[in-house]
Amino acid sequence: MSQLRVRFAPSPTGHLHVGNARTALFNWLLARGAGGTFILRIEDTDVERSTRASESAIHDDLRWLGLTWDEGPDVGGAHGPYRQSERLAIYAEHAQRLIARGAAYYCFCTPEDLEAQRTAALAAGLQPKYAGTCRTLDPAASSRRVGAGEPAALRFIVPADREITFVDAVRGHVTFDTGIIGDPVLVRSDGHPAYNFAVVVDDALMHVTHVIRGEDHISNTPRQLLLYEALGYEAPAFAHLSLVLGPDHSPLSKRHGATSVAEFREKGYLPQALLNYLALLGWSPGHDEEVLPAAELAARFRLADVGHSAGVFDEDKLAWVNRQYLKVADPAEIAPLAVPFLSAAGYVRALDAEGLAFVRSLVPLFATSVDRLQQVPERLRVLFAFDPSETLARPDVRAELESSAARDVIVTLADDLATAPRCRTRELFRAAAARVRQRTGQKGRALFHPIRVALTGEPEGPELDLLVPAIDTGAELAASAGVVPIAGCRERAAAFAAAL
Ligand code: GLU
């Protein structure tokens, strides 16, 4: 049996939509689970809409998700080139083969002719299809016209009265009657191949064994099967994935909010969480398990288990999956992903190794209390921003600090920290708190609440055992660390006591 080969074939005309990312993922899961090959092919024959910037953004998004490819435009491979715009000679040669076999003909219909045909069909309540006007032209005469420079498209002859049936790995038997299919354009008059033609030539020459793509392409499949037949190539297996829908069951679009992988990255979802969530859209790994790493998903993935009902994208569920990953993730992995958010908030810039290690040490402060990394700067704000007069202007805080006991705690804390070592560890902080307890007689909430307010400027927030060492470690960072200056506990307590 030939080795499994699948491909993801995006058109570089915009951002990578999560629906397309899921298509890429299902191909990747199948390849990785079966020891097969995952190919990235760039379908950039729409010259007006395709851009290199979009292609490189798609590369970045796939890599960010961890969907690495074995063959593709940047990594090469034995069946390249992997960018359709670099394969024009291959398509031209295949077009000649079809002409020679009498399977294709030149069409001189102008866009206006075609539009008129379309309008007439729609007016008659018919599904528009090419009327076949140029099919009966004498091929030799047509070739002469083309040779003389007359613009012409190349069309494929769809045989009349045939039923095309294929077994779709997701949808089962699918049948189309060729009567509804107009002769498709293979090569446009500008010389560029049309999608249906290029995709068949490429899938055949790249030895693709399984074509897994969105169900919006299902009606192209009979045309493609006829082309495989006409070219004498063996057709691959097909699997058409249902579309990703928004909560109102219409295809997920801008109206619903974020749609691209880049937008979800910017919102602070972890790549492994988005990947895991997308895998669950239309497929289940079984045993009611939902949070599984990519390698495990790949090991369990089977096309036969992909459902044909559409997947509804549920951002709350994605946020839930994200939280599960945040809770268990390795700080070394999370820290670099959190840096762009801290940097956008102005808290860090050009971190050196010490700065990055500091950010890594902050991960436990937020990992269990945010849904997404975008919320990290807000969660860590108390570390970077400290303004006692602003805190004391808040009526709720003011009221809590009315009692002389609370004030005593703060003044004593300031006095103690003035000479104590910085609380760089939980133990040093505990020792300082114990001294304040001894001197003031306050304990429990009456002790820790004023301490919290004085050191963080907030009545609530992350655990002091974690926060205080972070503050005092931050206070000692060298300027080269790349973290904005952090006021230490000593300075905070003194400033707060003075502002009381
Ligand atoms: N370029 C096509 C798309 O982005 C690929 C379709 C296919 O996989 O055949 O929709």
Nearest-CA residue for atom 10 of ligand 1: 10
Pocket test for ligand 1, best of 13, 199, 206 (most atoms within 8 A of CB): 199
Q: How far is the CA of 213 from the centre of ligand 1 (A)?
A: 7
The tens-digit pLDDT sequence of the chain (500 residues) is 459 999 999 999 999 999 999 999 999 999 999 999 999 999 999 989 999 999 999 999 999 999 999 999 999 999 999 999 999 999 999 999 999 999 999 999 999 999 999 999 899 988 888 989 999 999 999 999 999 999 999 999 999 999 999 999 999 999 999 999 999 999 999 999 999 999 999 999 999 999 999 999 999 999 999 999 999 999 999 999 999 999 999 999 999 889 999 999 999 999 999 999 999 998 988 878 899 999 999 999 999 999 988 789 999 999 999 999 999 989 999 999 999 999 999 999 999 999 999 999 999 999 999 999 999 999 999 999 999 999 999 998 988 888 999 999 999 999 999 999 999 999 999 999 999 999 999 999 999 999 999 999 999 999 999 999 999 999 999 999 999 999 999 999 999 999 98
Residue 44: CB within 6 Å of ligand 1? no
Give the catalytic positions in this structure. Answer: 254
Name every residue whose Cβ is closer than 8 Å to that of residue 427 and which is 6 or more positions away in sequence.
none
Please tell me the residue having the least CA distance from ligand 1 atom 3: 10
Q: Ligand 1 centre from 299 Cα, in Å?
A: 26
Distances from the Cα of 416 to the Cα of 382, 419, 433, 434, 490, angstroms: 22, 6, 9, 11, 9
Which amino acid makes up residue 40? L
User: Minimal CA–CA distance to 462: which of 375, 380, 371?
Assistant: 380
pTM of the shown model: 0.91
Closest approach atom of ligand 1 to CA 212: 8
Please tell me the distance between residue 12's alpha carbon and the centre of ligand 1 in angstroms: 10
